[in-house]
Amino acid sequence: MPDLVFVGSVNADTIAVVPTLPGQDERLVAERIVSGFGGNAATAAVAAARLGAETAFVGPVSDDELGRRVEASLADEGVDTSGLVRTPEGAGGQSVVLVDRSSGTRAICVQVAPDFTVGPAGAKLIAGAAWVHVDYLGWPAVRPLLGGELSRLSVDAGNDVPDLDLAGVGLYGPTAPALRRAYGALPARELLAQTVSEGVRCVVATDGARGCAGLTADGLYVEVPGFAVDVVSTLGAGDVFHGALLACLHRGMELPEAMRYANGAAALSCRAIDGRSGIPDFAELDTWVRAH
């Protein structure tokens, strides 16, 4: 039975590298166009699997050729796909991504997969997992299944999560900019304290290249700076961070060390255009982090 189960979105991506993001009615010649796969929960699952964790993905995949390619992309990484939920032809997640070569940033247009209900196979995976990680699409599907067992629930809040109730959640992963929008321009520790006051057991907020900060309900506060890397694209870096953080915590790392390794995994993922091919395995990550 997989130790880490990731529930939510998976996308087929079309990624174009452009000199800079276009303006209104502007036509650009792409320097490169590639196909890949993404999705918040799915990319986190791949990152955790690359780092040696036994993982599974539960989420909606369209019943067509594209959906079969999406499934194969996960299975090829060793991710258990027995909990996939089939949606009608053409109803799977897809995205078009423009990567700005001048800055390494990106703009994303997404066709979101429909809401889904976890099937019996997925429910069995979730029941047996040490951690269950959800994104905006996974939260409404998983929340009714867990009852009061939220201490093993990890929530990726990189995108707004509908009807999110943080009371009892084991690990919460917002971005620092989102916290500042919600609570104002407070110091990092005070921002995190706002979420802990809502009942979260541990919150780790990412802040792009600046790194991350974490706070536990018992008062442990940690700031971990980011790593300086040559960025090709930041696509999927936040999702890689979440998957790596869970994989490292499950390995037995203490929170500060797990955050540092997750920073490293996210940084290394930025060396590729797509969100997955730059993700390191644990041996590479361990060597790289120790050298930096």
Mean of the per-residue pLDDT values of the chain: 94
Query: pLDDT band for position 164 (50/70/90)?
Result: very high
- Which residues pair with residue 155 across a beta bridge? 134, 172
Tens digits of residue pLDDT in 255-277? 999 999 999 999 999 999 898 99
Domain spans in the chain, listed from the N-terminal domain onward? 4-10+39-90+115-291
56 contact partners, CB below 8 Å, separation of at least 6: 2, 4, 5, 6, 45, 79, 80, 81, 82, 83, 125, 129
Sign of torsion, CA 74 76 80 85?
Answer: positive
The number of angstroms, rounded, from the C-alpha of 289 to the middle of its chain's C-alpha atoms is 20
Q: pLDDT for 217-251, tens place per residue?
A: 999 999 999 999 998 888 899 999 999 999 999 99
> What pTM did the predictor assign?
0.94
d(CA 59, CA 132) in angstroms, rounded, equals 13
pLDDT band at 118 (very low <50, low <70, confident <90, very high): very high
Which residue in 149, 138, 128 sits closest to 173, CA to CA?
A: 138
**Looking at residue 233, what is its pLDDT?**
87
Query: What pLDDT sits at residue 191?
Result: 94
| pLDDT tops 90 at residue 195 | yes
In 3D space, the residue among 50, 51, 56, 80 whose CA is nearest the CA of residue 5 turns out to be: 56
Q: Identify the top-confidence range among 64-68, 106-110, 144-148.
A: 64-68
**122: CB partners within 8 A, 6+ apart:** 7, 58, 82, 83, 84, 85
Annotation: CATH topology of 4-10+39-90+115-291: UDP-N-acetylmuramoyl-L-alanine:D-glutamate ligase (3.40.1190)
| Neighbouring residues of 291: CB distance < 8 A, sequence distance ≥ 6 | none
